Structure 1
Amino acid sequence: MRRWTPAVILIAAGLVGGVPMIVSGSVVGGVLVLAAFVLFGVLISPPAFPRSVTDADARAAQATDGRPIIYWRPGCPYCLRMRTVLARKAGRYHWVDIWSDPAAAASVRAVADGNETVPTVVTPERSYVNPSPRLVQNLH
């Protein structure tokens, strides 16, 4: 459930802000507020990202294919930016949700000075904590 919390909060905020506006007669404004919050809630929800794998599976796959591992978590605006910029090429990376895999969170802490800073990108040669999406595009 923790993975869904940011998305649920945004959708609830949209309901709290938009529905009273609609009821009071400001239908267009209320619908726009509600739509904006729901859209952003959907964008940061776990399904908006490629299927997450475990840290162990990603590391094993990386050993054979060399593709970068992107550690992320739901609700992270920097992860959303990364996912948006990578767009259709997002499937070329191994995505690991640190909230659903404690070993993944530990891997991020190991390269991010004890913090769970995401996105963190790990290649066979180097680790990058909160890199620009453009840098990640050029890694593979």
Structure 2
Amino acid sequence: MGEIVLYGANWCGDCRRAKAWLREHEVPFTEVDVEHDDDARDRAVDLAGGRKNIPVVVLPDDRVLVEPTNAELAAAIAPEA
């Protein structure tokens, strides 16, 4: 399984929740800080189809989840875990 990329910011509650869920389930991921990196912020908006919501989670199969719930994370990742 390839690695998951999570675009988010430290101040974002949904980002903290998603990161905690991934860590709790031992799912490896790379975090990209959109608050301090304009290119990363632009990439996250592009990936999210123009939406500015975070987190933006890019799965190994290139599916993109925008502001996913824990249940949505579980459903998307379970087949790969």
TM-score (norm 1): 0.46
Match of 1:129 among 66, 69, 72: 66
1:101 aligns with 2:33: no
Please give the per-residue CA displacement for 1:59-97, whole angstroms capped at 9, x wherever unaligned: xxxxxx62111111121111111122223426x001111
TM-score (norm 2): 0.73
Amino acid at match of 1:78: D
**Over aligned residue pairs, what C-alpha RMSD do you find?**
2.1
Equivalences, count:
75
Query: Which entry has the higher C-alpha Rg, 1 or 2?
Result: 1
**Structure 1 moving runs of 4+ over 3 Å:** none
Unaligned stretches of 5+ residues in structure 2: none
Percent of aligned pairs sharing the same letter: 24
Pick closer, same or farther for the CA change 1:134–1:67 going to 2, 3 Å.
farther
